[in-house]
Chains A and B, each alone.
Chain A
């Protein structure tokens, strides 16, 4: 491994760890800044009209101890971290007595299986479209550009609803609810897998559809910028074949797109998670939606934490991939 790689990776790992710590801290402290005493809220629900002050006080202390609220904030934070590492996020309020980690582990797979392929496919298709629009100009550019611009403006949930209504309800091409037929028990039979695939289509295409637009717009302007660069003019002057030049141009234009994906993955995941709720796809988005509507705080904070960690890992991995695509990293000229 060259010196350039080592320096680059060290820097990225350092940032990954720092961001991770900040994310966990925000995740812990922000919800605890919420005005009002959560214990009091629970007390008023469970005790009802009890007026016996001593009993209330006793119950209050019981709850405080149960939730660990009798300790100081930093102490609570350490306990939270310790439990989080073990995967223990407590019990869910709304799906009692299921544990939060149980709910999350049953939904995380669906989200990963849906989002990662959809984002990658959307990214590739968008880049190809943008590059072709930049290279061919004329009709391609005239049609592809405004259409991509329009699709990048459609919110993810909007695309989801429109696809659901057209292909799911009107044309009945694909089911619109859940990840597999109700009544099925997940197993490795062909029947179950085909059901999963049928349910997969609509959420998948709605996420792909909206990510294509934004990527195409970005890739187009990047490619135009590169096509106008001096090295292209010089290569043409030298008589190098167009095909060869275009390869260089798009390789260069791709680099910012990879970084762009690493940086924008956080914002695009938000939209995609909301799209999940439209199809009641049993992933993290729907879990979060259910948790929010039921004011299930342990579940909310665990989902936000898991989403943050997933996004952090995704952008970290993209940064690593970037190092192998961009020759400048290897040459150690990277600042």
Chain B
């Protein structure tokens, strides 16, 4: 046992997988501890809010009114301001105008890095009275003028005036362009590392909860599948004869019938109301034991006529004892590996079911599959809301990748012929 653990620790594959898995498990366990609250609470009124930190505008102004601001002199503040105020379309217009005015702009594009030189060129060459081909109509001229004034406002930002009501009296407060507030001075700050989903829920909180639920589904499904497969494989392999024939008959039938279809059928037969997270896991478990049973059986068959097993039989040991002490230790490594794979395929099976609209009926906890299903239903992928689906896909892939890595790592530990 000690040796096995040691060689596991020395297997880079196993350790990479293990660390990945622990990180995912850590997110599921600790994120909710630091960010308590219902993961399905709809905090946002808009759907698909971009990831980021959101400061309450009202509270930030309050900080300013109380005069608790700090002043910083930043060289690039003006350019940054221009960057966020001058849109992509505006930059295209500027480039087109400059080109029409005969300025060489071939080395420029609309990116952030080029804004500085673009603005300089613009200020040098823009002249509202100059006649530039294609910009002679009054509408075009007006567009350019408003663009220019917007640019100038952004570059030479002076003070802004904030008008607040104090009873009947209106108070004007100046906001200097170099006044800053610290984010935790603002009373209400919402941190959304992964934005919100279509329902306005905090994606990160939801994802952490979903990882937990999906791991539980995987564990339950994996445990059931492994126990069923182990028992059936052991009985069928060790007893042989008619028991073996019957069990292998069932096995053969269920290897070819797609587990996926079986899953849908059984899942339907339990009815809408019973379709909770646990039922989902149990159904996945009882449809995926076949592989384990097959492999356990073939290993047991090669073991059952070994000398030490025969010796135990002659000594009159009971069936249970022979299986537990003489056979199980030999196939234990295999069973552990099969279990790991079952967990991973259980998580995947839940995700696939949910995507077909057959996910667990739950209002208290999300699962990875349900999150994916919601994102697809609300077209997050076609509208560019990557944060609503990509982290979910990544987490599913990483979970099963980490489990697969651990599995191949163990394979190398237990099976010397595969070692490098």
CB–CB B351/A30 < 8 A:
no
Smallest Cβ-Cβ distance to B403: which chain A residue = A153
- Given A176-B382, A304-B265, A267–B258 Cβ distance below 8 Å? yes
Taking residues whose C-beta sits less than 8 angstroms from the other chain, chain B's interface range is 35 or more
Q: How far is the CA of A67 from the CA of B290 in the complex (A)?
A: 35
**B contacts with A: majority SS:** helix
- Given A35-B271, A155-B396, A311–B351 Cβ distance below 8 Å? no
Smallest Cβ-Cβ distance to B382: which chain A residue = A169
Q: How far is the CA of A307 from the CA of B397 in the complex (A)?
A: 26
Within 8 A of A (CB), among B228-280: 249, 252-253, 255-262, 264-266, 268-271, 273-274
- Interface 1/0 per residue, B386-420 and A, CB below 8 Å: 10011001001110110111001001000001101
Q: How far is the CA of A23 from the CA of B252 in the complex (A)?
A: 12
Mark the stretch among A105-113, A124-132, A221-229 that contacts chain B: A221-229
Q: How far is the CA of A228 from the CA of B255 in the complex (A)?
A: 30
Interface presence of B196 (CB below 8 A): no
Smallest Cβ-Cβ distance to A23: which chain B residue = B257
CB–CB A266/B260 < 8 A:
yes
Q: How far is the CA of A253 from the CA of B344 in the complex (A)?
A: 26
A148 to chain B, nearest CB (A): 10
- Given A19-B252, A34-B268, A225-B417, A153–B258 Cβ distance below 8 Å? no
Smallest Cβ-Cβ distance to A262: which chain B residue = B256
- Given A27-B265, A274-B352, A288-B356, A155–B258 Cβ distance below 8 Å? no
Within 8 A of A (CB), among B355-398: 355-358, 372, 376, 381-382, 384, 386, 389-390, 393, 396-398
Interface presence of B348 (CB below 8 A): yes
Within 8 A of B (CB), among A25-43: 26-27, 30-36
B343 to chain A, nearest CB (A): 12
**A contacts with B: majority SS:** helix
Q: How far is the CA of A30 from the CA of B265 in the complex (A)?
A: 6
> In the complex, what residues of B have CB within 8 A of residue A274's CB?
352, 355-356
> In the complex, what residues of A have CB within 8 A of residue B420's CB?
137
B398 to chain A, nearest CB (A): 8
B122 to chain A, nearest CB (A): 30
CB–CB B418/A165 < 8 A:
no
Smallest Cβ-Cβ distance to A35: which chain B residue = B271
B198 to chain A, nearest CB (A): 15
CB–CB A266/B264 < 8 A:
no
A contact residues vs B (CB 8 Å cutoff) = 15, 18-19, 22-23, 26-27, 30-36, 137, 149-150, 152-158, 161-162, 164-165, 169, 176, 217, 221, 224-225, 228, 263, 266-267, 269-271, 273-274, 277-278, 288-289, 292-293, 300-301, 304, 307-308, 311-312, 315
Other A-B contacts than A224-B418, A267-B258, A311-B261, 10 sampled, CB-CB below 8 A, are: A33-B269, A34-B269, A35-B270, A156-B352, A165-B386, A221-B418, A225-B417, A292-B264, A300-B264, A307-B261
25 examples of A-B residue contacts, CB within 8 angstroms = A18-B253, A19-B252, A19-B257, A26-B262, A27-B265, A35-B270, A35-B271, A153-B397, A154-B397, A155-B352, A155-B396, A158-B393, A162-B390, A162-B393, A164-B382, A228-B417, A263-B256, A266-B255, A266-B257, A266-B259, A270-B260, A292-B357, A300-B264, A304-B261, A308-B258
